[in-house]
Amino acid sequence: MLSTRALRAHLLASRLAGEVATTRETSLRSYRAFVARDPRVTIGLDPGWAWSVRDVVALMADRCGVSADPEHVSGADVIDPELTLAGLAAFAARLGAVAARGGSVLFGTGHPHRLIGFYAGLADAVSAAGCSVLTPAQGRCVDITTRFGVRPYRLEYVRGVALLSEPGARAVGVHTHSPLPVRLALQAAVNAGGPLPDLVVGDHGWVCGAGQLGIEAIGVADTDDPALFVGAAEGRVSVAVPLDDGVRSDFYRPLTRYVLDRACLSQ
């Protein structure tokens, strides 16, 4: 079993927590866009409270460990590793609870190049425990608005994890914040007569889009992704784990082990 102390050291060494690659400028720009209800930043969440930039900064300081000073406007952002560890424990508890009752889980990521292995390891474990890992809308087209215009993507599943890919491309998935994929997947599940997921696990629009529709959702988020933490504060996201979502993919492997150990899903 990976100890909490060992994982804390790994978080800092890999810059999953501590001083991270995301800059303060990037985070503040996202907070301002969130307050302006920019859909590229709300990513499927319709905030129920009135949020100011100061409110978002205070929330992110509380939930992530970034500076609470709105006048601190430059440099690297910081994630408190203790908050990451607490988030992973809560994440494991929710995953374990669903697995214990043999529930259904939908996994999806907007960061396939970085996080596919993390989610796939979880999907393998819950499937082995008797859960249904759902794959609705496999191969369906999703039109995503980008800075280059509307582009068609395809919803695919790799080792039980949903992602968007470009038709005909060999690369594994594209980066997206959009909630459209999870909406498409959930609608396809409804049209097919179910089941709907008891839990959605992922990031970006997968978590916020599901939570907004009343589906329990847990996920990970960087300091420039305030929507997941707002969703958690407002009660629409069950768990938002603060960590850098853009480091090397192999750096997430110890997190998979840690979560599965605490969810009693290790094999």
Non-local (6+) Cβ contacts of 35 within 8 A are 51, 52, 53, 56
- Tell me what the mean pLDDT of segment 223-227 comes to: 98
- Tell me what the mean pLDDT of segment 50-59 comes to: 98
pLDDT at 225: 98
Nearest residue to 133 via CA among 120, 144, 143, 145 = 120
The dihedrals phi and psi of 218, each to the nearest 5 degrees, come to -135, 150
Global pTM reads 0.96
Q: Give the DSSP letter string of 79-140.
A: E-HHHHHHHHHHHHHHHHHHHHTT-EEEEE-S-HHHHHHHHHHHHHHHHHTT-EE--TTTT-
The pLDDT-based confidence of 149 (bands split at 50, 70, 90) is confident
pLDDT at 142: 94
pLDDT at 120: 98
Neighbours of 97 (CB within 10 A): 14
> What length does the chain have?
267
Q: For all residues of the chain together, what is the average pLDDT?
A: 96
Indicate the helix (H) or strand (E) that contains 11: helix 4-14
CATH code at 1-267: 3.40.50.10490
- Tell me what the mean pLDDT of segment 38-67 comes to: 97
Does the structure show a pLDDT above 80 at 174? yes
What whole-number percentage of the chain has pLDDT above 70? 99
Nearest residue to 220 via CA among 134, 151, 119 = 119
253 CB burial (10 A radius; 0-12, 13-18, 19+) = middle
pLDDT at 171: 63
pLDDT at 170: 67
Tokens of 115: 């996080």
pLDDT at 147: 75
The better pLDDT of the pair 22, 148 is held by 22
- Tell me what the mean pLDDT of segment 118-130 comes to: 98
pLDDT at 24: 97
